[in-house]
Structure 1
Amino acid sequence: MDVRLEGDGIVLRPWSERDLGQLVTLFDHAEMAYRLPVATPFDLAAAERYLNTARRAEQAGDRIYLAVTSGDDLARGEVMLNLAAGTIGYAIGPAYRGARLASRALRLLTGHAHRVLGLPTVYLEIEADNIASVAVARSGGYRPTGDEPVFVEDKGRRYPLHRWAHTDPEPPAVT
């Protein structure tokens, strides 16, 4: 599934081998390692494994991984859609924050999930203390579901993820 989305001043495109060095730049950071289930340290070998894992998941029809770019094709972050769970994840490299890239990417991928893939509801899973991610969720029209949080464990840290939902404002007409 080769997905490329454009809008609101950004392009979401598939990762490629030319991005391996930039993947290291994005994910080899203490905050990214803390919030994301990625290898630490995140070196070139980890980037190659990540890209291979992403490609296998895409080929299986399980997930879509897209680099977030802004005009010059430089990857500044990532958005990912888990097709089975209907969940989106996003991460913008620390050096590229402040330009609303995550909000714009989230809105673009959410629209694609609703209109092209036919998902009536799309979800996010966010740690309550991740204020920046909560702000991105709100800007994308997501709302807390009120469900009990799901606890996950990664790198020896156990933490709750709270579920947020976005329902398609224009569901398909029933005929």
Structure 2
Amino acid sequence: MSSATPSFPDRVELTVEGLVLRDWTETDLAAMPALFDHPDIAHWTPIVSPFDAEAARTRLDRARQLRTEGTALLLAITVDGGAPLGEVMLKRAPEGTELGYAVGPAHRGQGLAARAVRVMAAYAFEHLGVDQVILELEAENASSVAVATSAGFRILDVPLIKGEEKGRPYVLQTWGFDRS
């Protein structure tokens, strides 16, 4: 990012909506494979697969680098500041301020992703001064469509994003959520 883009704070902890979104730490490394080494995550996200201890270390290091650069903020989703249940991301991108998430398979169905996305949207509105955040997702990913809908996002009238990830073609819709 340019020198005009400030880095994110050294430490972030957001406590709202029954969640504590916090920085990833060294103590989370052992829990990360159980969260991210899953066929759904391998299929629908750019997260590396298989996701093992080495991938966890690489992800933690990359999260710290992206934060320092002011490019992205990756936080662990927890309910009490303890064990991570997933991850929520805020990324500054040319398309806009993008959010993303992944919830471990054992923790799905609790509304964690929708709540985490709403919390990160509020953070972006308040601390980054943006007027809109976006999600980019595949229409066939019913779980992500449900999260977007539940969190108050709507499909934007913008061109579809076509590409290939992990040898698989994809077509992404862009969903938006505006500052109220």
Superposed pair shares fold, TM > 0.5: yes
- Residue 52 of structure 1: how far off its partner (Å): 0.8
Give the 3-state SS of the residue equivalent to 1:74 in structure 2: coil
Give the unaligned 5+ runs of structure 2. Answer: 1-8
The residue aligned with 2:123 is 112
State how far apart, in whole Å, the 1-side matches of 2:160 and 2:81 are.
Answer: 38
CA distances 1:72-126 after superposition (whole Å, capped 9, x unpaired):
6110000000023300001111110011101111111111111221111110001
Q: Work out the CA distance in 2 between the residues paired with 1:40 and 1:107.
A: 27
Residue matched to 1:172? none
Aligned partners of 1:152 and 1:58: how far apart in 2? 26
Letter in 1 for 2:91: N
Determine the structure 2 residue equivalent to 1:60.
69
Letter in 2 for 1:122: V
The Cα of 1:39 is off from its aligned counterpart by 1.7
Q: Distance in 1 between matches of 2:148 and 2:47?
A: 22
Partner residue, 1:123: 134
Alpha-carbon separation, structure 2, partners of 1:97 and 1:105: 13
Consecutive unaligned residues in structure 1, runs of 5 or more: 170-175
2:97 matched to 1:86? yes
CA 1:51–1:135: 2 relative to 1, 3 Å: same
TM-score normalised by the chain length of structure 2: 0.90
Superposed CA RMSD in Å reads 1.1
SS at match of 2:174: strand
Q: In 2, Cα distance between the equivalents of 1:41 and 1:137?
A: 26
Amino acid at match of 1:42: F
- Aligned mate of 2:54, from 45, 49, 63: 45
Runs of 4+ off more than 2 Å? none
CA distance change for structure 1 residues 43 and 68 in 2, over 3 Å: closer, same or farther? same
Instruction: Give the fraction of aligned pairs with identical amino acids, expressed as a percent.
Output: 42
